Amino acid sequence: TVYKIAAIPGDGIGVDITEAAEQVLDTLAATNGTFKFEYTTFDWSSKAYKERGWYMQDDWEAQLKKHDAIYFGAVGWPDVPDHISLWSMILPIRNTMNQYVNVRPTRILKGTTAPLAQLQKTPSELDWVIVRENSEGEYAGQGGTTHAHGPNAIATEVAIFTRVGIERIMRFAFETAKSRPRRKLTMVTKSNAQRHGMVLWDKVFYDVAKEYEGVVEFDKMLVDAMTVRMVNKPESLDTIVATNLHADILSDLAAALAGSIGIAPSSNLDPTRSCPSMFEPIHGSAPDIAGKGIANPIGAFWSAAEMVRWVGKGELDAVADQFMQAIENVTGNPKTRTRDMGGSAGTTEVTEAVCREIERV
Ligand code: NAI
Ligand code: MG
């Protein structure tokens, strides 16, 4: 089987880690022998935008749809305002490709010096999947500005919540919880202060929960209290569902608790499979370390492993597990950890170490 991958390296370390991910995926395919990946690389980035005035071609949608999956590095660079880069590429792709779920698994990989250790928690006490609503809510892009440049400037940022949008994310979250050993779902909201959209979230959550009574254990948290629970009682959580904004923030906290933002993966999924899904590490372009060869590629590899699982539709689960095992063998070795994980290895060394492990395991 040949899987067609649309690769969008983007900016900064996005370029380094995409290249590293392709190298590792090719090694995985060559070792296995029953499948391979074919990449189309798109030079869509903030850097290119500065030079030519556009991010993506007008027919970008048709181009992406020719692929089985999209692999994304990172977009954003200091000389282009971030809201322009986000709204020129990543958000239109998520919205147009029906990627209404963003899945962000978090656990402590072998060898990670996680801050959690200081809280006297063991690695097995942090094992979560954050399910982020990826199509509406606070990132619906609705609103406006008047008197933009004057002292009386007013801006609105309108969050949009629909029953259809909430129901489908709740259903996905309950199914995810059901598929995991602990069968536990925590829904995050802020329905005490936000009395319309968040109240609808609560209502739809309890409606869907009726279908899972006795199957999935569930509870509800306010987002502010949730940050405290994530730090103090990580073992009390398993699957977490939250809005676009809340889950964005909580997943960065989760990444920090698990050791580094350089480790954390994400999958932007169209569960209906009518469009290609997109896989990317959760970190950005990291201008502060770009070009230095020290970016941690582990988040990119974990995202690639999730991509293998997704395109394989159940047939490549063992291959993805083997890939994850190779990753953990490498993070478990102090000599092959990057600086953000307390080591001194560069991107290339870690990449080569993972390739060697894949060939070995
Ligand atoms: P960032 O994730 O790029 O960097 C935050 C900090 O984490 C930096 O100190 C960086 O060096 C470190 N870091 C990130 N990834 C790392 C890795 N793989 N290995 C080692 N260290 C790593 O977030 P920041 O600085 O807020 O944003 C930089 C740019 O990236 C902005 O233009 C922003 O809009 C964009 N961005 C893009 C995202 C995307 O494409 N999905 C997501 C987040 C930010
Ligand atoms: Mg984020």
- 90/24 same-domain check: yes
* Inside any domain, residue 95: yes
Both 308 and 281 in one domain: the answer is yes
Residue 73 Cα: closest atom of ligand 1: 40
295 lines ligand 1 (CB under 6 A): yes
- Which of 207, 225, 257 marks a domain boundary? 257
Nearest CA to ligand 1 atom 6: 286
Q: What is the pLDDT of residues 195-219, one digit of tens each?
A: 999 999 999 999 999 999 999 999 9
Could you tell me if residue 107 is inside a domain? no
Find the ligand nearest to 297 CA.
1
CB atoms within 10 A of CB 320: 19
Question: Residue 118 pLDDT more than 70?
Answer: no
CATH at residue 293: 3.40.718.10
Same domain, yes or no: 13 and 146: no
Alpha carbon distance 163, 140 (integer Å): 15
pLDDT tens per residue across span 305-321: 999 999 999 999 999 99
Residues 120 and 226 in one domain: yes
Pocket flag, ligand 1, residue 262 (CB < 6 Å): yes
Separation in Å, CA 12 to CA 25, 74, 287: 21, 7, 6
In the DSSP assignment, the letter for residue 284 is -
Burial of 175 (0-12, 13-18, 19+ CB in 10 A): middle
- Closest-lying ligand 1 atom to the alpha carbon of residue 78: 32
- Cβ of 248 below 6 Å from ligand 1: no
Helix (H) or strand (E) holding 159: strand 154-160
Considering the domain architecture, whether residues 248 and 279 belong to the same structural domain is answered as: no
Exposed/middle/buried for residue 147 (C-beta within 10 Å: 0-12, 13-18, 19+):
exposed
Both tokens of residue 88? 């020129």
Nearest ligand, measured from the Cα of 284: 1
The answer to whether residues 160 and 49 belong to one domain is no
Instruction: Print the domain residue range for 164.
Output: 115-257
Q: Which pairs with CB-CB distance under 8 Å and at least 24 residues apart come from 153-159? A: 159/197, 159/243, 159/245
In a shared domain, residues 52 and 23: yes
Indicate if 241 and 124 belong to the same structural domain: yes
CA-nearest residue, atom 5 of ligand 1: 286
Among candidate residues 199, 233, 257, the one where a domain is terminated: 257
Based on the domain organization, do 96 and 122 belong to the same domain?
Answer: no
Q: What total of structural domains would you count in the chain?
A: 2
Sign of torsion, CA 160 163 168 170? Answer: positive
Q: Report the separation in Å between the CA atom of 17 and the middle of ligand 1, taken as the mean of its atom positions.
A: 12
Q: Are residues 121 and 226 in the same domain?
A: yes
Q: Where are the alpha helices (DSSP H) in the chain?
A: 13-32, 46-52, 60-65, 82-85, 91-96, 163-179, 197-209, 223-232, 244-257, 298-311, 317-331, 347-360
Residue pLDDT, tens place only, 14-50: 999 999 999 999 999 999 999 999 999 999 999 999 9
pLDDT tens sequence across 29-39 = 999 999 999 99
Q: Is residue 110 part of a domain?
A: no
Least confidently predicted of 121-125, 133-137, 203-207: 121-125
Residue 332 sits in the same domain as residue 247: no
DSSP label of 334: G
Residue ending a domain, among 257, 290, 316, is: 257
Whether residue 262 lies inside any domain: the answer is no
Q: How confident is the model at residue 167 (pLDDT cuts 50, 70, 90)?
A: very high
Question: Looking at this protein, which amino acid is placed at residue 137?
Answer: G
Alpha carbon of 340 to ligand 2 centroid (Å) = 18
- The answer to whether 282 and 102 are in contact (CB under 8 A) is no
Q: Quick check: is 265 in a domain?
A: no
Share of the chain above pLDDT 90, in %: 92
92 and 164: one domain? no
